[in-house]
Structure 1
Amino acid sequence: MQLDVGTLVLRRFTVGDLQLGERYINMDYIFFMGLAGSEISELYVSYDIACQWHKNIWERMKTFPREVHFLRGKKYCVFLIPKFHLPAHIEACNVLFSFHLTRYVGLTDGEAPERGWSVLNPLASSTMEMGPGMRRDTINDAFNDMNHKKIVNMGKWMLGKVADCVPELITAAAELEELECSLRRLGAGEALEEWRAEVQAWEADAGAPNPFAAKVERRTVVQVRGEMAEEVQKELEEAMEKEGDEDNGALEELHGTELIAMGLQLEELQRDLSFDINGIGNHPSADQKTNVTERGNKLRRKISTWMDAQVLFVPHVAVLRAEEDRARRRIAATQAQPGVQVQHMALWLPSSIRGRVECAVDLYEHEFRLQEAQAHESLDDVRHQLLLRTHLYKHKDAYVRGVKANTRAQTKIEGVEERTRWSELSR
């Protein structure tokens, strides 16, 4: 059984009209009326916002006539999100409402109701001019035609599915057995059994700890900056309560946490500019050259302003920059274009000057916390790019034919691979 906009793919008379947008009252009515009198004991409900819609659904059921009520103890209900819609949800939804992690659903994707719109959408230009009765008759005729074709072709369709699934089942079982044997040879047999026990316990009782949920919380740069901002706020409040504490570092116009955060942002802009310059090639157009030059000029001004502020926190960094300038002047005569490109300018963040000049310990700590969060984000980005590359390869092998289409697909894949390599090297 699958639920979608105004439809319940379960039995007859389960298509309903909606007002503007999907309202719970409409979807609840379609859902409960579609189940009225049904003897189905196990329900797997697929809906693109099931994570929100299923909340308090049993309380809302009480507002409907008693004839459509059913005892939850006699029906096993699982609410899931279709596979195509699931990636747009938060991580918790991807764990709790995934078809991949649910028993007895096989490889069902939950998108069956969506496929019907490809047949029904062409009717919209006609039904919008019809009255209610004619409109419903027309839609019913379309549904009847779809159902008739499904029934007539079901034997051929099922045979094709079985022919595809059986070899894949054999291959998957062999690969799983090989993986488990490898883990046991590596001494991870006990951990494997513990994992299997956790999965079975969770499948038997949804209230048990979910083994698929991430146990390590990954913090983003935004979260870390928020924590640091709260810490600075507390420092400011404590400093303002003290008398004669006007020289406290926390009362400066720019705090150390903000300095490091700005420096890391500038470093990111340098990497982005370098990536784009490398992507242009040896023969850029006039528009590309202008765009890169303007971005470089803006970035150079930002870095210059940031360097002026950095000297207030790390005065000895001026010594490093003076040495860098003297070395640059010595080799300037051998350069075709004297000077350093903005994407190669050294920012001398605390991690770069460690052991060379003095730097406050708290600046090291600020940079470490932000860099750690950046590393987690980079790893997530690499994983995403690898998954995208796998999808593009599979799509290319299955559907792309011809020189033009293959060239376009290969260009996309090369772009993803380049971004993956850049993400791996950017931290």
Structure 2
Amino acid sequence: MNKPELDVALSDGKGYMVAEVHYQSHLQQSLDSKERSTCSNHRAINAANINKSNLQSSGIGATACAQHGCFIPHSVMDFQKGERYMNTDYSICNALGYHSESITKALVIYDVGCQWSVNFESGVKNGPSLLLPPALEIVPAVGKFHLAAHKLSCFPRYSLNFIKGAGHLDREILETLWAPFNKISPTARSMTQAHRQEVYDDHMRDSNWKKLVGMVPSLLKKYKTSNKCLEEMNQAYEQLTAVLDPDKVAQWESNALRAGADRGEALDISLLKGDKAPTFHELWLQLTKNPKSPSGNVGLVAWLAEGISIEDSQDQLRPEIQQLPNPMSTRQEVKTTEKRQRLSSRIEKFHSNGQAFCKGLDINGTFTPQDDPALCGTDEEEHEDREFWDDDDEGDWEAPDEEVEGLASELMSIWMPYSIGAAKLTELGLHDLLKEERELRIGQANDCLDQLRTDLGNKAMLYQQNFRTANSTREGTRTKKEIQKVVARVNKHVRSYQRARWAILRLDPDANMAGKYQGILAEDLAVSKDVTEENRFGQGTSKLPWFWVMDGEKSQLDVEAGGLMEEFYRISWLKARARRDRWKEEVSLARHEMLWTVLWFEYHKNMWEERALQLMEPGKEAYAKKQMGLWSDFTNKAWLMLQGKQMDGI
């Protein structure tokens, strides 16, 4: 604007937008600390430090009532550099100070509540313009939609399912409020500051009025839904409790009550517990520290570990070469030759060192390991989920019997004890080789599954947060490349796991091992629809693949005390209890709100009736009588619609 002094606000700070002068004073007095999310891929916080100096406002933030979705007056403000806590703190403090004299505890639901709550108290102390009601306890939480993007530890600590008094709504009301504002935002961008502020105030006032007009039908719908769900959840809770040991239920109940009072890390009792599966390097260290075997094979563990490392290098090099053009460029051919020579040298040295451990066996055979072509994608492939295997193939890697001469190093198979199987190793007296390779292969499989879970989770988040919502071809292309890298890592982990599983079953053909380390199917690698399609149908029978619930040495379901089966029962009971309690609260809230709503309508009717009697000017008197009639109509309709419903307080 050429003449900013002409941009005069007629109602600055009198509506829903904050007073500009006071707000700018707060920003100047507050410390601008660079905040990085330590929880998960929260773009709102990580983008807060992006410089947008060419914009007077990069967006708006608001605080609204979580129960009804009403904007709170004087709590909507502009962001200047993304979503910074100094802005959010101002909005929340203003909202908590609005008609909150008798409130002692406030539930603040924020997309990144786990991060925001850490420094909120210190921010209020250091902000001269930030004030909170005395003795007000803040309970931070994260809405159910956004909680899926957080670390697992955030679920019990910030989930509304475990907060007493929260009821049973998703509490993502702000997401629905922004939808109509997106329609007016293009027009508002070109407005002056004062004009834009008044337009936003008008739309928020209209939004709140519509919430008020629809309050009674909304409460009736909520009352009906809550009663039905409470009946179902209470029945499920009682049925589960009836088949459990009363002593254990009493212990779980006591722990849950204590955790609800202490909060914080105490709420982690709602997470599945168990020992983490030992990693490859942990088992390597454990075997190395053990006394040497009777045969005196010093260095055996290191030799086996080198063999596993060579196999992983082959698994990585094969798809890299397959994705190169044919013919390769000179530069590509030079790099490929160098990699093959280094790998060939390692294989030759490995076989040479292995003669000392194999009692004269010929271990220099070469053959081509079968590599699943679906795990060697090309640059042109689209990165949607697809069939990785045929229906009849679980993806097990098997080595053919024939030997092939003149193979490239990435296609040569090195000799490992599992190649001849457990029976032959036992017959030759190579017990040490069998035992120690089996332990290392278990560590290799555990590592692969752990990394696979991590990358599949990242893949799901990339689809949900980036690929599905890309606003431009450039952004979509960049996201596709990120997904391509994740898919390549997933395929690498699957290949390595297949080899480890095949070796484990050859070295220990036991049914328990086959049950613990199962085959990975194509559908197991699909993007989690719990993240990308939260509101899809058919969630009632969905379940995670087996490797998501595998945990340490207790992976097999164990009905004994302390077994994983007991742990599943404990978690199921705690969640069933939480669901029942939240629906109880929702029913209680609905009953109270029905009465509160009618009484509030009556209060306004009586207020305008009193004003009509006091006013002497005809115009004002007519307006007061019109308002009295409006609120009287609201009151009568509310009593009529709520007739026969149980309202607490009557």
Instruction: Identify whether the pair has TM-score above 0.5, normalized to the shorter chain.
Output: yes
Q: Does 1:205 align with 2:279?
A: no
Q: Does 1:52 align with 2:92?
A: no
Asked whether the 8 Å contact 1:7–1:16 carries over to 2, the reply is yes
Give the alignment partner of residue 395 of structure 1, picking from 526, 530, 536. 536
Task: Measure how far apart 1:78 and its partner are.
Answer: 0.9
Q: Output the CA distance in 2 between the equivalents of 1:292 and 1:314.
A: 34
| Cα pair distance change 1:167/1:384, threshold 3 Å | farther
Asked whether the 8 Å contact 1:83–1:111 carries over to 2, the reply is yes
Gaps of 5+ in 2: 1-43, 45-59, 66-71, 290-297, 327-335, 369-399, 457-519, 550-554, 556-650
Q: Does 1:311 align with 2:351?
A: yes
Q: Output the CA distance in 1 between the equivalents of 2:184 and 2:367.
A: 71
Asked whether the 8 Å contact 1:51–1:81 carries over to 2, the reply is yes
How does 1:62-81 map onto structure 2 within 5 Å?
A: 62-65=125-128, 68-71=131-134, 74-81=135-142
Asked whether the 8 Å contact 1:35–1:68 carries over to 2, the reply is no
Corresponding position of 1:286? none
The residue type paired with residue 105 of structure 2 is: E
Gaps of 5+ in 1: 236-247, 274-289, 333-339, 399-412
Give the alignment partner of residue 22 of structure 1, picking from 53, 72, 83. 83
| Cα pair distance change 1:168/1:386, threshold 3 Å | farther
Once the two structures are superposed, residues 316-357 of structure 1 have per-residue CA deviations (whole angstroms, 9 ceiling, x without a partner) of 4973675989x9459x9xxxxxxx9x9999766555544526
Give me the CA root mean square deviation.
5.1
Asked whether the 8 Å contact 2:109–2:171 carries over to 1, the reply is yes
- TM-score if structure 2 supplies the norm length? 0.44
Question: How many residue pairs end up in the alignment?
Answer: 351
Task: Measure how far apart 1:377 and its partner are.
Answer: 6.1
Asked whether the 8 Å contact 1:263–1:349 carries over to 2, the reply is no
**Secondary structure, aligned partner of 1:43:** strand
| Cα pair distance change 1:28/1:147, threshold 3 Å | same
| Cα pair distance change 1:393/1:212, threshold 3 Å | closer
Q: Output the CA distance in 1 between the equivalents of 2:272 and 2:546.
A: 26
Corresponding position of 2:224? 163
| Cα pair distance change 1:66/1:129, threshold 3 Å | closer
Q: Does 1:260 align with 2:301?
A: no
Task: Measure how far apart 1:67 and its partner are.
Answer: 7.4
Q: Output the CA distance in 2 between the equivalents of 1:375 and 1:207.
A: 30
| Cα pair distance change 1:265/1:104, threshold 3 Å | farther
Q: Does 1:118 align with 2:171?
A: no
- TM-score if structure 1 supplies the norm length? 0.64
Asked whether the 8 Å contact 1:62–1:69 carries over to 2, the reply is no
Corresponding position of 2:199? 138
Q: Output the CA distance in 2 between the equivalents of 1:87 and 1:310.
A: 46
| Cα pair distance change 1:196/1:135, threshold 3 Å | same
Task: Measure how far apart 1:126 and its partner are.
Answer: 1.0
Q: Output the CA distance in 2 between the equivalents of 1:313 and 1:423.
A: 39
* Greater RCO, 1 or 2 (C-alpha within 8 Å, sep 6+): 2
Task: Measure how far apart 1:105 and its partner are.
Answer: 1.3
The residue type paired with residue 47 of structure 1 is: Y
Corresponding position of 1:279? none
Asked whether the 8 Å contact 2:259–2:266 carries over to 1, the reply is yes
Give the alignment partner of residue 7 of structure 1, picking from 62, 68, 72. 62
Corresponding position of 2:444? 370
Q: Output the CA distance in 1 between the equivalents of 2:85 and 2:438.
A: 52
Task: Measure how far apart 1:307 and its partner are.
Answer: 5.0
Corresponding position of 2:276? 218
Asked whether the 8 Å contact 1:6–1:17 carries over to 2, the reply is yes
